[in-house]
Amino acid sequence: MTRIWKAYSQASLILRVTIALVLGVLVGLVGGEPVAVWLAPLGDLLLRLLTFLIVPIVLFTLMVGVNQSREGSAGRIGGKVFGYYLASSALAITVGLTIASLFNPGSGMRLEEEASFSVPDNPGVVDALLNIVPSNIIGAFAELNMLGIIFTALVFGIALLKMRQSERQQAMGERLYEVIEALNEVTLKVMSGVLHYVPIGVFAIVAETVSQQGMETLLSLGDMVVVLYIALATHLLIYCGIMQLFGVKLLTFFREARTPMATAFATQSSSGTLPLTINAAHRLGISKSIYGFSLPLGATLNMDGAAIRIAISAVFASNVIGAPLDFISMVQIVLIGTLVSVGTAGVPGAGIIMIATVFAQVGLPIETVALLTAIDALVGMGATALNVTGDLVGTSVVARSEGEELKETALEDTSATAKV
């Protein structure tokens, strides 16, 4: 048993996750529903462990990052991050519309009259912005209000920075900063242990998803799935071009990014994968002052994969009802889809809300969403993987624009216990 554990722990994490993905697909196809029920608790445990780490890793990482920022750089970095995410989302929707217009998914299909779907309420941009400021700090942590947690970390991080710069409170501020920094290191130690369980959880989640979806679902709406993944691959190539433009070494980037990408693919959770994404940025040598802000924010606001899904779903729906989109409708989808991704941030069923909201604005029938629910997990896996990749790409690009040199870093708290 000791020998097996030693071999398992010494293997690279991405190798373990890749094997888990393949085994999960095979077991899900062969075992069916009984296997899914048996494995479900193992997948739930992984999601719980990752969610368990979100609050401490965002809170402490961001507070430490703020206190490591150069004077006057926080506002500049924030502007770059927001600008990148907004442009990237608009570009993703444009890519999705272009690819979908070329392949026309949904052509020849017909909407069943009895098809129906319940869409959650859209909270709107104003409410989403107000939710940035939590009325109760404990409530924000308990509800995993990511924007509220980011706001809290920024406010207290800046206050701590001011204390350290004050002559009267400097000693007190330095002692408090040392405590926060130590808590951040402890969180990374805990994360290094959780990394060992990631392959097991990924295996269980993939097996459960495949057993529930099956091949029949994939084949029935196969053209929609194929077009979506073509668009995701196209946007990934655009990422590569952007990174090369800013001098990011692709081999180095993907060597560290592949684990959060694979985990996001399996779990379909950008926020849940956040600890692994932060670990990847940490190992790339990006400063905490950048990734501590950009990655938590990106997990909430930057959804390039979801944006592509919106665009392709709109073209799919228009083809199903036999009314192809015109140029004006496509422009509307780009503008509305970009803004809606912010208004629905952190809301359960966010992808459905975004699609339904865009459909309503451009006159597409909400009932077509019912067709898309059959492949929700299949498209959600790829979209979430691109969401996480986009966050890490944006963080790397901003880091390079700040003059940082990205490189793989052998860090004791992660690589010594879990090779990536």
Q: Is the pTM of this model over 0.75?
A: no
Rounded Cα gap, residues 291 and 57, in angstroms: 11
Rounded Cα gap, residues 261 and 77, in angstroms: 24
Question: Could you tell me the sign of the dihedral formed by the alpha carbons of 172, 173, 176, 182, in that order?
Answer: negative
At residue 238, the pLDDT reads 95
CATH superfamily of 34-415: Sodium:dicarboxylate symporter (1.10.3860.10)
At residue 232, the pLDDT reads 94
Q: What mean pLDDT comes out for the span 306-322?
A: 82
At residue 288, the pLDDT reads 85
The three-class DSSP label of residue 321 is: coil
At residue 114, the pLDDT reads 47
Q: What mean pLDDT comes out for the span 149-160?
A: 87
Q: What mean pLDDT comes out for the span 213-230?
A: 72
Rounded Cα gap, residues 286 and 13, in angstroms: 21
385 closest CA partner among 17, 78, 80, 26: 17
Q: Which tens digit of pLDDT belongs to each residue from 108-122?
A: 655 555 444 444 454
**32: confidence class by pLDDT, cuts 50, 70, 90:** confident
Question: Could you tell me the sign of the dihedral formed by the alpha carbons of 119, 298, 379, 277, in that order?
Answer: negative
Q: Which tens digit of pLDDT belongs to each residue from 166-212?
A: 888 989 999 999 999 899 889 888 888 888 888 888 888 888 877 77
CA angle 328, 333, 337 (to 5 degrees): 155
**What integer best gives the mean pLDDT of the chain?**
79
Ramachandran category for residue 111: left, alpha or beta (phi over 0 → left; psi -120 to 50 → alpha): beta
Q: Which tens digit of pLDDT belongs to each residue from 339-380?
A: 666 544 544 455 666 776 677 666 776 666 656 665 667 788
Would you give the distance in Å from CA 387 to the centre of its chain? 4
* DSSP character at residue 324: -
At residue 220, the pLDDT reads 54
Rounded Cα gap, residues 154 and 148, in angstroms: 10
> Which has more confidence, 282 or 348?
282
Q: Which tens digit of pLDDT belongs to each residue from 60-101?
A: 888 887 887 665 566 788 889 888 988 898 899 889 989 988
Considering just the CA atoms, what is the radius of gyration of the chain in Å?
Answer: 22
At residue 55, the pLDDT reads 86
**417: confidence class by pLDDT, cuts 50, 70, 90:** very low
Rounded Cα gap, residues 200 and 140, in angstroms: 30
